[in-house]
Structure formats: C-alpha cells, structure tokens
Amino acid sequence: MTRTFAFDLDAFRKDLDGIAIEDNPALVKQKSRDFFWYSPILKGQLEHVTGDLVATPKDEAEVIRILKAAFAHDVPVTPRGGGTGNYGQAMPLSRGLILNLAEMNKVKAIHPGRVICEPGAIIAQIDKETRAHSGQELRLHPSTYATASIAGYVAGGSGGVGSIRWGGLRDIGNVLRLRVVTMEAEPRILELTGWELHKVMHAYGTNGIITEVEMPLTAAYDWVDVLVGFDQWMDTVRYCDALGNADGLLLKEIAAIAAPVPHTYFLRHQKFIPEGKSVAVLMVAPHAMDAFLAFTARAKGEVLFRADTAADPKGLPPAYELAWNHTTLRALRVDPSITYIQTMFAPPTHIEKIETITRLFGDEVPGHLEFVRFDGKITPMGLSLIRHTTNERLEEIMRLHEENGCPIFNPHRYTLEEGGMKQTDLVQLDFKREADPKGLLNPGKMIAWEDPSFDFAAQKTYLFPGLQQTG
C-alpha cells in the first residue's frame, strides 16, 4: 500500500489567514528536525526530510482552525514541541504542515499534587513556576529538561529523571489528563483520563493533537548532583542496584556509566573523574545526604564530585545532562562515530545479564544503565553506547542482545512499533481510526495504520512508502 499526499498548498494557506506561518525553506527545515542523527541509520533515512510550512497557533481555537483546514485540503500535519526527540518523532515524512506548539506554553493552574499546562510549556519552566508557587515539581523529566515541551514529552517520551521513583510515563497516574483535538471535518475536543490516556500517549501525535496537559507534581528539593566512582564496572552496577532498592533513600536519578566513558566524554567534569573509573551519576535529596554518604562508604564507592560542597560548580552541566540521552550526546560530540541502543535487563537476573553482555562486547558496547522502577521493581534499562562500525554489525549487536534475553527498544527506527514492543497497539490504532480517519496526522509513524499486513516477526525494517524522496 503506497500512500501519497497531494494537496494545494496555496489554497490551504489561505484558510490559515491570521495564524503565524513560516515558509522560509531553511527555517522550515530547521523546524522539521529532531535528534534523529544520534542514529546512523535514521541519519541516512531522514536527513533530507522537511515540511512545507510551519504554523504556530497561539491557542486551541487556532489549532482547531488549522486542523479543519488541513482536513479539508488533505494536508499532512506533524505536531512539534521542543523537537528534542531522538527517533524522528516530530519529522514530517510526507512533507505538509509542521504544527509548532511552542507558543502555547503557559502554565495555567497549579494545585496540590498537580499542574495544568498548555502543550508547548517547557518542562524546566513548569518546574520553575510550580516551585515558586508551592515547592512542587514534576515527577519525571527528560535530560532535555531545559528545552523539551510537556506535550512532546508525553507524546514522544517514555521516562527519564525521576523514573527511579515513579516508573515511566505510561504507568497509570504519571499523566493525569490530556485534552486532545481530533483531525476531522469538524475537529472534536476530548478529555482523556485513566486508561484512556494510553490512546494518545507515546503515539507521536499520530492520532490527535494535545492542547492541554495535566500532570502530577511531587515535592521539589534542591537535588544534589553526585558522581560516585568505582574501579570495576560491575561494582558500579551492584552499587546502583542496591541504592535503588534502598527504600529510605530519596534519589531522583541513578545511572551507571562504564569507564572510559565518564572520563573521556564528560569533558567539563573530566577533572573530577580519573580515567579508569566507572561512575554512578546521581541526584540525591539534600536531607538524604548523610544517610546516602554512609551507604556509599559501606559500598566502598568513592565520591568523586558532589555539587553541594564543590568549590565552583557553576560552569558544570547538571547531573541529568550527563544521563539518559545526554550521555549519548556527550559521547557523540567527542566521537561522532558513537551511537547507542536501548535494552532492558529484567530482574531478578539483571546482574547476570549485564555481566553476560559486558563479557560479550567489552568496550565495543560501553555500559550505560538507567535504573528505573518497572512494574514495581528496580530495573536497569540499558542505553548502551556503541562504537559504530557498520549498520550490519549494529543490527547484529541488537540481535545478540535479544538472543541473550535482553529485549531491544530500537532507537534506529522511526515507527512506533519498531521502537517499542514490535506489535500493533490496538488502542492507539482504534483511536487513530476515530480521530484521524484520513490518516493525515504524522504519516508513516504507525505501521499498523500504514500497512496492517506488516509482519513484525520477519525482522525486516519497515520503510514507509510515503517517505519523501531525497533531494
């Protein structure tokens, strides 16, 4: 099944009269990109992708006008927040309109335990306002805290800093309510709560446009960034695992990163990190520091850096910008051949699995683990770095992970299914049928819609026929 979109751009534009529009090709291309280039495979596939126009609505009424016009003119619409995704989530594979939600960025209301925002609100700005209002902050944020939008995070992210305490975005309770506009002749406004949220969460905007987000808040603290070093990688892993399971110690982030990554790629922290050290990157509640230090001393961890007593921590990036995909970013900046994979080391045999993978690949796949709660259990998620040689070897590395019981969430694919559970998400598909009957929202990202007969078991990469041609 080949999908193409033919539309009259000028006629569509006329319907957008009064709405902020950008059509300078260089600026449109800038707003058509995310961090897809972390992946050498996506870099090859998506480098040329661009939209035709960028529309920047100032409120929900304008969003509805835009969607109505796009529906009438069969124009593909790809929503965009901060553009901080890594899998082409916000990239318009079939050209059309970029729906830039950056100007809908207000924090609308703050209550005990919850905040209501416009979709383009920047996560760090939300925290700034909720902290000032009542000492509260979001439970979870990506390492792109300073630039990511809240709806982009909900639509394209899965977890991050805070997941050690709260699990992932998909865990019920971590998003409270989404207001969504459908892509129909007469767009409807829906309010989703409870299980219904799964219809549009992590759907890349393929089946509705989020115009309001209600998120839970938790107590804000002046988290202390700490780096703890070990001579042995597996000691770092065991330390992080035990730390995550220490129920009385309040931490917001626990990552383990194998030598030589920390010394070699964390340039601004380099002076604190001896070359051979594997490092735990941590964010610790200030009132937990005494107990944390006692715990760490008993585990024979060496505190290499702590921001609360550091002589001059001002020029240093925050700990969360050493973690999650910022680890990858810092490595890429020094060595552009680096890429990464995402995997999971499921308990109770997580330690053994990590040992196996470490033995199998050594420094070709430097360890990077993010410890999170998953179904109630502390679970190391791998965001392992890869010293990339060929795409074939990259596929082989992923295959060897799966053969050793470590499922891959493939960051080298632009579709929802291949990057996730490798199966059709019927809840999301059904909602797309209802909310985007013409399939105009972010085309090419949901295989179940584009090619219902696609065989996930065949291990072949899905190539969206509607992907615009190079040049």
Single out the segment in contact with its own copies by CB under 8 A; choices: 73-81, 116-124, 243-251, 443-451.
243-251
| DSSP 3-state of 195 | helix
Q: Which of 58, 108, 111, 433 binds its own copies (CB under 8 A)?
A: 111
Residue 347 C-beta: closest distance to its own copies, Å: 9
* 350-379: contacts with its own copies (CB under 8 A): 373-378
Q: Nearest approach, Cβ of 44 to its own copies (angstroms)?
A: 37
* CA–CA distance, 324 with 171 (Å, rounded to integer): 19
∠10-12-18 over CA atoms, to 5°?
100
Q: Which is nearer to its own copies, 328 or 379 (CB)?
A: 379
Cβ 166 to its own copies, closest distance in Å? 6
Longest pairwise C-alpha distance within the chain: 70
**Total residues contacting its own copies (rule CB under 8 A)?**
51
Nearer to its own copies, 291 or 400 (CB): 291
Report the distance separating Cα 449 and Cα 355, nearest Å: 39
Are 379 and 350 in contact by the 8 Å Cβ rule? The answer is: yes
Which residues in the 4-63 window bind its own copies by CB under 8 A?
none
- Which one among 173, 336, 362, 452 touches its own copies, defined by CB under 8 A? 173
Q: Which two tokens stand for residue 397?
A: 């590395």
Q: Which of 285, 346, 400, 427 binds its own copies (CB under 8 A)?
A: 285
Distances (CA, A) of 64 to 13, 152, 186, 196: 15, 18, 8, 21
* Segment lying near its own copies (by CB under 8 A), choices 21-29, 141-149, 241-249, 439-447: 241-249
Q: What share of the chain is helix, strand, coil (3-state, %, to 5)?
A: 35, 20, 45
Helices 350-361 and 233-244 cross at an angle (nearest 10°) of 160
In terms of CB distance, is 152 or 159 closer to its own copies? 159
Rounded CA-CA distance 446/431 in Å is 12
Q: Which helix (H) or strand (E) holds 176?
A: none
Residue 244 sits in the site that holds its own copies (CB under 8 A) = yes
Question: Nearest CA to 66 among 105, 99, 29, 28?
Answer: 99
Q: What minimum distance in Å lies between the beta carbon of 191 and its own copies? A: 11
Q: Per-residue x/- mask for its own copies, residues 128 to 167, rule CB under 8 A?
A: ------xxx--x--------------------------xx
Does 177 help bind its own copies (rule: CB under 8 A)? Answer: yes
**230, HSE (Cβ side, Cα atoms, 13 Å):** 22
Q: At what angle do helices 350-361 and 391-403 cross, to 10 degrees?
A: 150
Instruction: Confirm or reject binding of residue 239 to its own copies (CB under 8 A).
Output: no
Using CA atoms of 67, 71, 73, 78 in order, give the dihedral in degrees to the nearest 10.
60
User: What are the structure tokens assigned to 232, written together?
Assistant: 């042995």
Nearer to its own copies, 220 or 360 (CB): 220
Q: Which two tokens stand for residue 108?
A: 């609308």
Site string for its own copies, 181-220 (x = CB under 8 A): ------------xxx--------------------xxxx-
Residue 93 or 243 with smaller CB distance to its own copies: 243
Interface with its own copies (CB under 8 A), residue from 1, 17, 298, 392: 298
Confirm if 410 and 86 have CB atoms less than 8 A apart.
no
Q: Does 113 bind its own copies (CB under 8 A)?
A: yes
For residue 149, give the DSSP letter.
B
Q: Among 222, 231, 335, 402, which residue interacts with its own copies (rule: CB under 8 A)?
A: 222
Task: Please give the residue ranges that form the binding site for its own copies (CB under 8 A).
Answer: 111-114, 134-136, 139, 166-168, 171-174, 176-177, 193-195, 216-219, 221-222, 244-250, 285-288, 290-295, 298, 348, 373-378
